[in-house]
Amino acid sequence: MVAQTRTANTTQKKLSFNEKLVGKNLGTDALLKKLKALHTELSELDQEIVDVNSLSSVRTQLIHTSLLLHKERGVKAYVACCLSDILRLYAPDAPYTVTELRDIFQFFFRQLSAGLKSTESTYYNEYFHLLESLSVVKSVVLVCDLPNAEELMIEVFRDFFALVRRDLAKKIELFISDILIALIDECQSLPSEVLEVIMAQFMDKNARMDQPAYRLAVQICNTTADKLQRHVCQYFTDIIITNSRDLQSESDFEEIRTAHELVKQLARSCPSLLHSVIPQLEEELRVEEVQVRIIATQTLGEMFGDKGGADLIRKYPSTWSVWLMRKGDKAAPVRLKLVESAKGLVLNLPEHRETIEDILRLKLLDPDDKVRAAVCKVYSQLDYETALHHVSTSQLRTVAGRGMDKKHTVRVEALNAIGKLYALAYPEIENGDPSAIEHFSWIPGQVFHIANVTLESKPAAEQVIADHILPLPSLSNVASTSTSKNNEVDEAAWTDRLLNVMQYLDDTAINAMLSMSGVKINRPTAYEHFLQACIQNNGGVIDENEEVVKQKLGNIIRHLSKHFPDPHKATEDLQAFAKANENRLYKLLKTCVDLQSDLKSIVKASNEFLRRVEQSHESILSTMSIFLRRCTLRILNQSSISPLLKRLQKSSSSSIASTMTKHAHQLLTYVSKHCPALYKAHVGELTKAIADEKNTMVVELGMQALAAVVRTDESLASFDKRTLDRVTKYALGDNARVVKFASRLLASLKGCNEQCMDVIESVAQRLPDAEPKVLVAHTALLVQMARFRSEAFEHRSDDIMAFLVKKLLLAPSLNDDEDMDVDNDWVHDDDVPPILRARIQALKVCRNRCLAHASSPNAIDIATPALKMFATLIQHSGSFKVDAPDSPSVKSRMRLQAAISLLHLSTVEAYATVINPHFIWLAITVQDPCYHVRMIFLTKLISLLSPRKLPPRFNTIPFLTVLDPEDDIRNRAMAYVSFANRTLPPAARVEYLEVIFIRLLHLLAHHPDFSIDHENLQDMAKYVEFYLDQITSSENISLLYHLAMKAKTVRDAESHTYSEHLYALSELAQELIKARAQARSWALQSFPGKVKLPSDIFRSLPNPEAAVKILKTVYLPQETIEWLAEAAKPHKTAATAVAKEKRREAREARDRRSPPGAKRKASRPRANGTAKRAKPSARWNSDQSETAESSLDSEDHSEREFPPSERHTSPKTSKSGLSEDEGQDSDKEAISVREDTSKARRGGRKARMRAKAKISQQIKRGTVRSKRS
């Protein structure tokens, strides 16, 4: 008990109160009056000068039962106060027995619990005095010396914690705290129930510092931490041990989990209590029981990630180390809990950033997808400042890389994380904050790249782009009937966001973004067809053509569902949407797909559509959200046109403004090319734009847009005379770009024949004397007129064509020394000299003239000279003569334009037939030595192949890119083939991708680099493997094998040499197909159908005997046969990997020697590929007669056995010729020959094995004899 020491003093003061407090006939009022007087006098007495003997009378009376059990509250209140004063004055010795003290303290606590409720309570001051006395004098510690001290302490703690919840004055809370702290400090042993009462305050889910009971518990624990540490540890240990004996189900772990929740709460408010608990948690990290490790990992993770985590790590470094080691725990749930706590670590442990980042980067590659997804989710929960200052850019890029994860959930979380961070950072990026730009501006580009890579990643990327990167503006009120100004959207800000995003995109990302915008899709789109089919289906109630309507709807749904993440669910959901047949939803969809809908209409319709679907058809919401996102022009629509035009008209000289102007121009140009209908509402604005002659960029773009929109809708082709004169003036100007679009606009306007005749006449007269710059502009006009106004062009075509061919194209070009540099094989668009530009335009004039006359009777007569000219340019590497002195850059440009012209002309069936003899040369343009020629040619080829404008044989060309030294060319070719293989209808897939296999073999047989030697055939195998990698499946492998075999049943249409090439490739392809089928356990069955081989490249064999002879002949070198056999063995993967690694190292060494940014050249195909080929053994010529064959048989005794492709049982095939019905007899003979040859080969193999064993024995004997000697 804490009290002042009594000192000797001669002037001790005595208590003057001498009245009786106990007795009969003593009324309550009188008693209260006496007790009040006594309390007043006692409270004024000083402990040091009081004569305690004078207190003996009242001391005894105050503990009388009649007072302690009095029915009047006031009496008991004053008695309690007087007793507390007596204890204060007698301190440090109590004037009562143990039993009396027990009764007194129980009396105290009853009075406080019952009476101390609020300041408004009766006798509040007396209760306050009692509590204050117990707190200050510390007389309460006498409880610890009582026999039943533990029971009394438990009662005190329970009563006081209940009391403090009454939200009393702050002083009362402090008094209670002092009393309870004193009890804990003085007690010999702390009752477990007392600790439970204290701990219970931390278990409340809503526990926080503004709650008095929680605040009191925190104060007690922090003050008595030294004494409570051991008890808390024991308390925690008892719970763990008690509940760890029989752990069978999840519910058995609840108590353990609750105990760990308590530890987390204590760590937040009373960390000093856990000195002995933390090491115990460390041990839990090592136990075998997975659930215990999970709970411990989660608990420590949250503790380390709290605000006091840094101090915890400094105090318990070994625990921190052991916890970090859980990153490699064998149980994925443990690793998951470690990762989930990482958010707090990133926020509150900046000094450990590198350690945390390393762990999270490692866990991004965790084998468990839940762990990888959890890492990504951590970053989606960060705020902008934390991400900017505590997360490195490299770490964010690593997270973004998980956007291509094989698991959908990981892709979604990764892309969502970086998307959210970009949305948070966008205001700062827009304001030009360098840190924000460096840290986050790359994110949109990465997302667009991911969307462009795989079909699996695209939906998640689209969602992130729509939600975070390029979101639609929101409306405060989305009711479609509202016309309030508050509902207006800021179209300029929305468009500026697009331009800001584009500032930091590379060309690939911009192309992906433009592709995703939906502007380029052919219209009506598949989504519009679906909507129309739903309307016709009418929910299944169809009046006429029921089968046709249902079939159409089913076909469209199958086509659309292939592009959804889950095609099966998409099919069901789209069918459910059609069955629902809600006209309001149809109307909203029509608004969304309508090209003339403005931004506000799209936002309102989209919001209402999704809201209605969610309310009535929630199960299909995810599918319809993707559908709506893809069918709507969310990125670029007709509301973008005006802000983009204004951006061009107000172009600034600053670098950012000029970049945004360039992108605005790019977007408008893209709209002009692919969706000019968006300009319909802006024709007046465009007409005004072309009047600004000082702004050439705006004039050029306005002309292009007007020309495009007029060709889309002829009703818009009405201009006043002033505008028409302005267009005519531009057409005769010297700016080639403006001239191009002005002349196209003029040629597209109705009733302008006279103006077109005039400009052509004027240009024809000016051509001979035109300066180079003007000549470029004039040829640009002629390109457009030859295509769109052929009748006006033909009026002066003789003079014009004579000049273009004789004076421009065939005229020798002057070269300087720099142009003659062999490494300078390309000149970029901005640097093309005017004369070269004019020559390229002249080639386009020839091409467009052919296209304009494609349907005329004399089309071939008109086109023949041009086609010969184009073929000559390709064959002579860009010149009209083999030894022309043109510079490499000029040749590259010329042969590229010639090749592209032939591609365009091949879309016309009549021209395609004429071009076919030159197809080989056209195809190998994709292997041109110049990178730019290859890339531009391939891009143009794909743009014509995608809509199936070219004949099927052109689909063989992308497969020639397999040996290209640049990845982007190979990747582009693979992307097209993969897309076509995935999206083409089954019948078209067979025609355009599978049956062409025989044409690919023919193309390779005619390749200028082909020769029948092992090294060359290894390269040819790469072409075939590339094709098989992209196209082969278990369904079509029999067809491809059948086609490969059929190649040996015909002869080449040109020569016997090419036939031998074809036969060698046939054997090579058969072996590769069989190896692939074996590796994948595919059944290689006989193809049941009939395939007619193309008659333009193959001829029938003269007779069945010829077919048998060819089948018996092996055209592959022995070295190649052995190489194929070795490659088919299981260890081929390692060998291939080693070879690839060597090639990669060699390629990197080459790259280091190359100048930065330089593109590698492809090797030029040799003009005569057979020069490299070793002299072949005498073989039977398929063009010879039967007599010649028999004479050759007698001379050729070294003929090889059957090719490897025939060693095993092969599918039955039809015989030689162009039809399956020809040469049936030769099939039977061929089969018998195979059987005989197979037996002979087996016998020969056994003989060789015996000989080899005998030789080995002789060698061993010789070695033994030599050792003995």
pLDDT at 34: 84
**Residue 1197, pLDDT above cutoff 60:** no
**From CA 580, how far away is CA 1150, in angstroms rounded?**
63
Strand partners of residue 1098: 1052
For 16-71, give the DSSP string.
Answer: -----SS-TT--HHHHHHHHHHHHHHHHH--TTTB-GGGGHHHHHHHT-HHHHT-S
pLDDT at 31: 86
- Say how many residues make up the chain: 1269
**From CA 17, how far away is CA 34, in angstroms rounded?**
9
pLDDT at 943: 93
For 191-236, give the DSSP string.
Answer: -HHHHHHHHHHHH-TT--TTSHHHHHHHHHHHHTHHHHHHHHHHHH
| Lowest mean per-residue pLDDT among 3-7, 216-220, 999-1003, 1129-1133 | 3-7
pLDDT at 112: 85
**From CA 977, how far away is CA 329, in angstroms rounded?**
43
Which residues, other chains included, contact 335 with Cβ-Cβ below 8 Å and sequence gap of 6+? 326, 327, 328, 329, 363, 366, 368, 371
Closest among 452, 356, 368, 359 to 403, alpha carbons compared = 452
**Residue 898, pLDDT above cutoff 90:** yes
pLDDT at 273: 87
Contact present, 576 and 470 (Cβ < 8 Å) = no
**From CA 837, how far away is CA 780, in angstroms rounded?**
9
| pLDDT tens by residue, 421-442 | 999 999 999 999 999 999 999 9
Residue 1098's φ and ψ, nearest 5 degrees, are: -125, 155
**Residue 1186, pLDDT above cutoff 50:** no
CA trace torsion 253, 259, 262, 267 (10° rounding): -100
What is the arithmetic mean of pLDDT over 202-226?
86
Instruction: Give first-to-last CA distance, the chain, whole Å.
Output: 111
What is the arithmetic mean of pLDDT over 90-97?
84
Closest among 458, 461, 369 to 418, alpha carbons compared = 461
Closest among 918, 827, 910, 802 to 870, alpha carbons compared = 918
pLDDT band at 133; cut points 50, 70, 90 = confident
b/e for 756-790, b at 16 or more Cβ within 10 A? bbebbeebbeebeebeeebbbbbbbbbbbbbbbbb
pLDDT band at 926; cut points 50, 70, 90 = very high
What is the arithmetic mean of pLDDT over 1085-1103?
90
**Residue 166, pLDDT above cutoff 90:** no
Contact present, 182 and 142 (Cβ < 8 Å) = no
**Residue 750, pLDDT above cutoff 50:** yes
| Encoded tokens for 495 | 């468009």
**From CA 955, how far away is CA 941, in angstroms rounded?**
9
pLDDT band at 682; cut points 50, 70, 90 = very high
**From CA 228, how far away is CA 184, in angstroms rounded?**
9
pLDDT band at 913; cut points 50, 70, 90 = very high
pLDDT at 317: 94
**From CA 356, how far away is CA 346, in angstroms rounded?**
7
Residue 358's φ and ψ, nearest 5 degrees, are: -60, -45
Q: Which residue would you say has higher pLDDT here, 11 or 340?
A: 340
Q: Which residue would you say has higher pLDDT here, 1133 or 655?
A: 655
| pLDDT tens by residue, 1015-1064 | 999 999 999 999 999 999 999 999 999 999 999 999 999 888 899 999 99
Identity at 866, one-letter amino acid code: A
Of 921-930, 1118-1127, 1249-1258, the range with the highest mean pLDDT is 921-930
- Helix, strand, or coil (residue 331): coil
Which residues, other chains included, contact 1219 with Cβ-Cβ below 8 Å and sequence gap of 6+? 1090, 1092
What is the arithmetic mean of pLDDT over 745-757?
87
pLDDT band at 258; cut points 50, 70, 90 = confident
CA trace torsion 568, 574, 576, 582 (10° rounding): 170
**Residue 477, pLDDT above cutoff 90:** no
Of 1011-1020, 1155-1164, 1204-1213, 1241-1250, the range with the highest mean pLDDT is 1011-1020
What is the arithmetic mean of pLDDT over 769-774?
91
| pLDDT tens by residue, 1201-1226 | 333 333 333 333 333 344 443 333 33
**Residue 536, pLDDT above cutoff 60:** yes
SS3 of the chain: helix, strand, coil, percent, to 5: 70, 0, 30
Contact present, 509 and 449 (Cβ < 8 Å) = yes
Q: Is the peptide bond before 1088 cis (omega within 30 degrees of 0)?
A: no
pLDDT at 1164: 54
**Residue 392, pLDDT above cutoff 80:** yes
**Residue 652, pLDDT above cutoff 70:** no
pLDDT at 368: 95
Closest among 229, 98, 110, 224 to 158, alpha carbons compared = 110
**From CA 466, how far away is CA 806, in angstroms rounded?**
56
pLDDT at 530: 95
pLDDT band at 1155; cut points 50, 70, 90 = very low
Structure letter (DSSP) for residue 1098: E
Contact present, 137 and 87 (Cβ < 8 Å) = yes
Contact present, 368 and 335 (Cβ < 8 Å) = yes
**From CA 731, how far away is CA 741, in angstroms rounded?**
8
pLDDT at 248: 61
Measured between alpha carbons, how far is residue 1177 from residues 1181, 1183, 1207 in Å?
Answer: 12, 17, 22
Measured between alpha carbons, how far is residue 790 from residues 80, 211, 845 in Å?
Answer: 119, 90, 11
| pLDDT tens by residue, 546-582 | 899 999 999 999 989 988 888 999 999 999 999 999 9
pLDDT band at 1172; cut points 50, 70, 90 = very low
Which long-range contacts does 306-310 make (Cβ < 8 Å, 24+ apart)?
Answer: 306/267, 306/268, 306/344, 306/348, 307/268, 307/348, 308/267, 308/268, 308/271, 309/344, 309/345, 309/348, 309/349, 310/348, 310/349, 310/351
- State the average pLDDT for the chain: 84
For 962-1026, give the DSSP string.
Answer: TT-S-HHHHHHHHHHHHHHHHHS-HHHHIIIIITTHHHHHHHHHT-TT--SSHHHHHHHHHHHHH
pLDDT at 534: 94
**Overall pTM > 0.85:** no
**Residue 254, pLDDT above cutoff 80:** yes
What is the arithmetic mean of pLDDT over 1122-1140?
64
pLDDT at 339: 95
Q: Is the peptide bond before 212 cis (omega within 30 degrees of 0)?
A: no
**From CA 375, how far away is CA 364, in angstroms rounded?**
6
**From CA 1232, how far away is CA 672, in angstroms rounded?**
66
| Lowest mean per-residue pLDDT among 164-168, 384-388, 960-964, 1195-1199 | 1195-1199
pLDDT at 823: 58
| pLDDT tens by residue, 10-33 | 477 888 887 888 877 778 888 888
**Residue 1266, pLDDT above cutoff 50:** no
**Residue 762, pLDDT above cutoff 60:** yes
pLDDT band at 70; cut points 50, 70, 90 = confident
Q: Is 890 exposed, middle or buried (0-12, 13-18, 19+ CB in 10 A)?
A: buried
Of 32-36, 243-247, 766-770, 1235-1239, the range with the highest mean pLDDT is 766-770
pLDDT band at 242; cut points 50, 70, 90 = confident
Give the Cβ contact number of residue 696 at 10 Å. Answer: 13
